[in-house]
């Protein structure tokens, strides 16, 4: 519990850092606005741009952290994450296809979430069809997951080439970015995230059992099949929400669970909220760091066009961490 509190405080601190990261206003200006003062322009920037952006980053991060933890627990696979189980690429494909075919626009976010949802399920289903019989071999499943992701990315590319009008805005979104997120995105994200986060939390006990192995769980009277399906639905829903809000942030859902289990132990009742907080902190921190980086680069190169997408940062750092995790789990092999 103490750790959770400390972590929550840390997340608040990161959120504040994200609020003051940016080009136009310094920390003192932001503080003035938050305490009720400031000129109209500053107020607009803080309240209508930075605050929702920060909140969306927090919400999406929490979703991804939860989704990854649920997936890893349900599949008993330390290498499962939304990115390598076809869920994220599927969700991206769904959203891109829906917008490309004109079924949903960026102005109707609800439709995008629905499309991302369908796509995410399709991706997960594809993987399950391929690797279903080898589900207890983590690395094999991960390999198939990479292949599935490749197919789905190819399809996404096809859609984008057939309907290239959106390419510019979609590219941002393929890498994952929190630029230009406004209150609309937040109002859509938080009820969805809250609903599924609660659902995930109610699944904490069965998931903890599932992580111990099917026989043990069955011996304790858990019906493993339905429990696993419920967990997967939960994970896909959370991922779809996050993808619809900020795009495909790389490696957050894959790595946050490892941190969460390391910090909070294996009891998911505590580890799940921990993972949500960690995910929120990580994404928000990456967002703040990306903005600082953009500023640095802009100062160095004298261009205003340059902005580092948040997803680029999480993917870059995540790739390095993933290598470490893969190494460690190999060295611990029996």
Partner 1 sequence: MAVLCALLALAVGALTLGTPYVPLAALPHEFVVTELRLPRLVLALVAGACLGAAGLVLQEALRNPLAVPEMLGVSSGAALGVAAPLVLALSVPLAVQPLLALAGAALGGALTLLAAGLGRSPSAVLLTGAAVTAALQSALLVLMVLADQLDLQLIYRYLLGSLSARTWHDVTGLWPWLAVALPALALCAPVLSVLRLGDDDARALGVRVGRARLAALAIAIVLIAPVVAVCGPVAWVGFLAPQLARRLRPGADAVRWLPWSAAWGAVIVACADLPARLALAPVETPVGAWTALLGVPAGVALLRARGRGHPPPGGGRRTRSAAVTAPRDADPGERRTTALPETDGGTR
Per CB under 8 A, residues contacting partner 1 are 76-79, 83-84, 130, 133-134, 136-140, 142-144, 146-147, 150-151, 153-155, 157-158, 160-162, 164, 167-168, 171-172, 174-175, 177, 211-213, 216, 250-251, 258, 261-262, 265-266, 305-309, 311-312, 315-316, 318-320, 322-323, 326, 329-330, 332-334
- Give me the sign of the Cα torsion angle 180, 182, 184, 186: positive
First to last CA, the chain: 33
The minimum distance between CB 271 and partner 1, in angstroms, equals: 10
- Nearest to partner 1 of 256, 312 (CB atom): 312
Is the separation of the CB atoms in 64 and 279 below 8 Å?
yes
Q: Let me know how long the chain is.
A: 334
| Residue 281 tokens, joined | 């902190």
- Nearest to partner 1 of 19, 271 (CB atom): 271
Gyration radius (Cα) of the chain, Å: 20
The rounded distance, in Å, linking the Cα atoms of 148 and 13 is: 38
| Residue 247 tokens, joined | 């795009």
The minimum distance between CB 297 and partner 1, in angstroms, equals: 10
| Residue 76 tokens, joined | 């008993």
- Nearest to partner 1 of 35, 334 (CB atom): 334
| Residue 265 tokens, joined | 């132990």
Is the separation of the CB atoms in 276 and 197 below 8 Å?
yes
The minimum distance between CB 216 and partner 1, in angstroms, equals: 6
The minimum distance between CB 315 and partner 1, in angstroms, equals: 4
- Nearest to partner 1 of 2, 330 (CB atom): 330
The minimum distance between CB 294 and partner 1, in angstroms, equals: 11
- Give me the sign of the Cα torsion angle 47, 49, 52, 58: negative
The minimum distance between CB 236 and partner 1, in angstroms, equals: 20
The minimum distance between CB 47 and partner 1, in angstroms, equals: 26
The rounded distance, in Å, linking the Cα atoms of 106 and 98 is: 10
Residues 6+ apart with CB under 8 A from 255: 68, 81, 318, 321, 322, 325
């Amino acid at each position: 519990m103490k750790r959770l509190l400390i972590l929550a405080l840390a997340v608040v601190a990161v959120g504040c850092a994200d609020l003051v990261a940016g080009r136009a206003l310094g920390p003192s200006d932001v503080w003035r606005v938050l305490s009720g003062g400031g000129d109209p322009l500053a107020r607009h920037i803080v309240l209508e741009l930075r605050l929702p952006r920060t909140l969306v980053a927090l919400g999406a991060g929490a979703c991804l952290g939860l989704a990854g933890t649920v997936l890893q627990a349900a599949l008993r696979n330390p290498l499962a994450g939304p990115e390598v189980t076809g869920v994220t690429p599927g969700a991206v494909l769904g959203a891109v296809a829906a917008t490309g075919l004109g079924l949903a626009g960026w102005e109707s976010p609800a439709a995008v979430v629905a499309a991302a949802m369908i796509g995410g399920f399709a991706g997960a289903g594809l993987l399950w069809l391929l690797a279903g019989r080898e589900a207890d071999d983590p690395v094999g499943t991960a390999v198939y997951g990479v292949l599935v992701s490749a197919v789905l990315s190819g399809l996404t590319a096809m859609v984008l080439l057939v309907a290239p009008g959106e390419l510019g805005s979609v590219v941002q979104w393929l890498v994952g970015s929190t630029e230009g997120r406004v209150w609309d995105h937040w109002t859509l994200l938080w009820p969805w995230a809250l609903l599924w986060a609660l659902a995930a939390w109610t699944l904490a006990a069965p998931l903890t059992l599932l992580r111990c192995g099917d026989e043990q769980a069955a011996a304790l009277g858990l019906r493993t099949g339905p429990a696993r399906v419920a967990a997967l639905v939960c994970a896909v829903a959370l991922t779809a929400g996050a993808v619809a809000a900020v795009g495909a942030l790389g490696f957050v859902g894959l790595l946050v669970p490892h941190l969460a289990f390391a910090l909070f132990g294996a009891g998911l009742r505590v580890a799940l909220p921990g993972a949500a907080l960690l995910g929120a902190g990580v994404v928000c921190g990456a967002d703040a760091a990306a903005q600082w980086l953009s500023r640095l680069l802009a100062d160095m190169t004298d261009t205003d066009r340059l902005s580092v997408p948040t997803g680029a940062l999480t993917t870059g750092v995540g790739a390095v961490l993933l290598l470490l995790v893969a190494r460690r789990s190999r060295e611990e092999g029996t």
